[in-house]
Structure 1
Amino acid sequence: MKAVVHRAFGAPEVLSVEEVPKPTPKAGELLIRIRAAALTAVDCAARQGRPFSARLAFGPFSPRNPVLGGACAGDVEVVGTGVRRFAIGDRVVAISGSFGMHAEYVCVREDSAVTAMSSGLTHAEAVAVSEGALTALPFLRDAANLRAGQSILVNGASGSVGTAAVQLAQHLGAEVTGVCSTANIELVRSLGAHEIIDYTKEGFARNRRTYDVIFDAVGKSSFAYCRGALKRGGIYLTTAPSMAILGQTLWTKLRSKKARIEFTGLRPPREKTKDLVLLGELAGAGAIRAVIDRTYPLEQAAEAHGYVDTGRKRGAVIMLAGGPG
C-alpha cells in the first residue's frame, strides 16, 4: 500500500510516498480502507520534531511514528475475529492515538475511538467535522461549561478548531465573537459568529468588552493578555501547553478569573467515541458543517504540509487516499 513516510525530522521535503506492507487486522481490530485523512498542525509539529520537548512523544532522534495522520474516514475492508460492532463495508470515522493514517490502509481496535459515519456526509466532510470539533467540544462543554446566554470569544476562529468552536458555541446558545483576519471575516460570520474582531486592525483584549469565556483555539495569546477581558467568574482556555498555563491553571483555581488547558487527545477512547457519535448527529442534522480549505492526494503530501506550515489554513486540510471522497 502507499503511505506518506518521514524517517527524519525536518521541512516538508523529508516526506516521501512509499510502498509499505499492508497491515493485517488482529483479533478485535478493523482494517480500514482510508478515503480521507486530516492534516493538522500536530502532524506538522511531529514532522519537524518541534518543540524539542515534544521529542519525548515524537521520538528523541528520529520519528517514532514515520507515518503521520491522527484522524481518518474510510470503509471497513476486513474485520478481525471477535469484532461485533462493525461489518465489512461500513463507512467509519476513526481517531488514532499513534498516527498512521496518511496511508491507504490502517488497522484500529474496535474499542478505540471509531464510529459509523453520519449518512449524507462524504468521507472528507466526516473527518473534517470530527477533527477540529473533537478538540473544541470538551473545551467548551466540559472545561468552560458554556451555557445559553453566556458570551464567548474565539481567537483563531477560522482554523479547524476555531470554526468548530464558533459553531458549537452558537449551537449551545452562547453569544459568539470570532477573532480572525480580514480575509476570513465572511467565513466566520457564516458559521454563526455574532460579532467579528479583525486582529489585523485591533487587539481583541483591548476593546473594553468582557466575556464569560475566552477560547484561544490557536494558542497565540496568554492569560495575562486576556485577563482584563474576562468577566468576574470568567475562564480563559488555551490549546497550547506551556509551563505558564500549567502554573496558572493551579493558582487561579480559587480566583474569580480562571485559566485552564485541556489535554483532549489524552481522553479515554470511549469518551472520544461518544463525542464522534454526537458530532456526526449534529452534522447530519445541519447544526454544524464541515469547513474544508484544501484537499491533496497522498502524492502531494509535501505541498500540503508546506501549506499548513504557513498557519493560514481555513478549517481543515484533507489528504485523499483514493476512491470516493
Structure 2
Amino acid sequence: MNTLKIDLPERMKATWVTRYGGPEAIQIVDVPLPAVKPGMVLVRVAASAVNSGDVRTRGLQAKEPVKTLMRLVLGLHRPRQPILATVFSGTVAALGAGVTSFRVGDAVFGSSPGMRYGCHAQYVAIPASGPMACMTPSMGFAEAAALPFGGNTALYFLEKHGAKAGESILINGAAGAVGTMAVQIARNLGLGVTGTAGGKNEALVRGLGAHRFIDYTRDCIFAPGIRFDLILDTVGKLDKAQAKEALKPGGRFINTCGSDVAKENHRQVERLAQWYDAGKLKAVIHSILPMDDVQGAHRIVDTGHKWGSVVLMIRQEEGQ
C-alpha cells in the first residue's frame, strides 16, 4: 500500500523522444504516472538537467559499429525509454510498500540508476535504496539537480582509480558538467589539480580550485617534463598514447566517455550533499530553462561548448 500525502493525478507531462534525431525530435506529451512498486519512491520532480548522455541517446551520436550496438541496447528507431534524463530534484509524493528511509514531503535529489532515465517528467519512480538523498536546507532545486550527473561520475572514477591526497591530476574538459565537479572533488580529496578548458573559462576553473590552468586552444596540454599521477578525460578527446606518456610511473589514465559507465549509489549522493552544505562543492549552472523549452536545452548541450550544467525546471513555482 502506498503512503500518499496528497491525491495524485492520473497523468503527467513529460518530454518524449519520438525518433532518433535533432532536438526537434523531442515533444511534450501527457502520459500516465509511473507505478509505485514495493521499495520505490515516487518523486514529484521540480528540476532536472540535460546532459551529454541525453543528447547522445537522443541523436544516436556515435560512430559505427558503436551506433548499431546503441540501437540494439536503446531501441531500433527510438529509445525504448523515450523520457530521457537521469538526474532530478523534487519532493517525495508517495512511498511504495516497505520504504522507511524517506517520508512523503521530503525534499530529495539524485539519479535514476543505470539506464532507467525518466526524469524529464513531472513524476519519476526511484528505488529507495538507489542513488538518492535528502536535500540540505541550503540547497535550491535547480542547484540540487546540477550536482548528481557530474558529481557522481567524478566521484565514481576518482574512487575507483584510487585517487588520494598528495597526488597530481590533469582534468581535461574542466569547465563541463563532469569537469567542474571533478575539479572541486579532486581538490576536496587533497589532489593537486590542473584543469584544461578554453581560455574564456579560466576564471571559472581556477575559482573552483584548480591550482594550474591550461588553455587548450592556445597551449599544448602535454608539456615536456610535466607528469601526473592521474589524467581524467571528461570529454573523451585526449590521445590515449600521448596521455599515457604524460603519466608518472604507476599513473592512471581515465576516460569517463569510454566503455566503463559510472555506477551511482546512495553514499555518493550523501557525500555530495555534505560537501555542498559545508561550502566545499558548488553547483555550476550554465542556464536554467523551463520544461517547455527542452529543445532549446538540448541545442545548448549539442554545441559541446557549454560550461557547467543546463538545468530544466519541471515545476517553475518550485524553482524560484
The question of a shared fold, defined as TM-score above 0.5 by the shorter chain, is answered with yes
Q: Any conservation in 2 of the 1:178–1:195 contact (CA below 8 Å)?
A: yes
Q: 2:73 aligns to what?
A: 57
Alpha-carbon separation, structure 2, partners of 1:162 and 1:297 = 25
Q: 2:139 aligns to what?
A: 121
5 Å-filtered alignment, 1:74-89, equals 74-89=90-105
Alpha-carbon separation, structure 2, partners of 1:66 and 1:141 = 32
Q: 1:159 aligns to what?
A: 176
Q: 2:111 aligns to what?
A: 95
5 Å-filtered alignment, 1:29-68, equals 29-51=40-62, 52=67, 53-68=69-84
More deviation in 192-201 or 12-21? Answer: 12-21
Q: Any conservation in 1 of the 2:17–2:78 contact (CA below 8 Å)?
A: no
Letter of the structure 1 residue corresponding to residue 265 of structure 2: K
Alpha-carbon separation, structure 1, partners of 2:99 and 2:159 = 32
5 Å-filtered alignment, 1:278-317, equals 278-317=271-310
More helix by share: 1
TM-score normalised to structure 2 length: 0.90
Alpha-carbon separation, structure 1, partners of 2:168 and 2:194 = 8
Q: 2:20 aligns to what?
A: 9
More deviation in 217-226 or 175-184? Answer: 217-226
5 Å-filtered alignment, 1:167-316, equals 167-241=184-258, 262-264=260-262, 267=263, 272-316=265-309
After TM superposition, give the deviation of residue 207 of structure 1 in Å. Answer: 4.5
Which SS does the other structure have where 2:182 is aligned?
helix
Aligned residues: 300
After TM superposition, give the deviation of residue 112 of structure 1 in Å. Answer: 2.4
Q: Any conservation in 2 of the 1:90–1:116 contact (CA below 8 Å)?
A: yes
Which SS does the other structure have where 1:168 is aligned?
helix
TM-score normalised to structure 1 length: 0.89
Query: Is the aligned partner of 1:18 residue 2:29?
Result: yes
Unaligned runs of 5+ in 1: 243-261
Q: 1:106 aligns to what?
A: 124
Q: Any conservation in 1 of the 2:172–2:195 contact (CA below 8 Å)?
A: yes
Which SS does the other structure have where 2:33 is aligned?
coil
After TM superposition, give the deviation of residue 57 of structure 1 in Å. Answer: 2.5
Letter of the structure 1 residue corresponding to residue 20 of structure 2: F
Q: Any conservation in 1 of the 2:155–2:182 contact (CA below 8 Å)?
A: yes
Q: Any conservation in 1 of the 2:173–2:195 contact (CA below 8 Å)?
A: yes
Unaligned runs of 5+ in 2: 1-11
After TM superposition, give the deviation of residue 24 of structure 1 in Å. Answer: 3.8
- Report the aligned-residue RMSD: 1.4
Give me the identity figure in percent: 39
Displaced runs of 4+ in structure 1, greater than 6 A? none
Which SS does the other structure have where 2:144 is aligned?
helix
Q: Any conservation in 2 of the 1:49–1:58 contact (CA below 8 Å)?
A: no
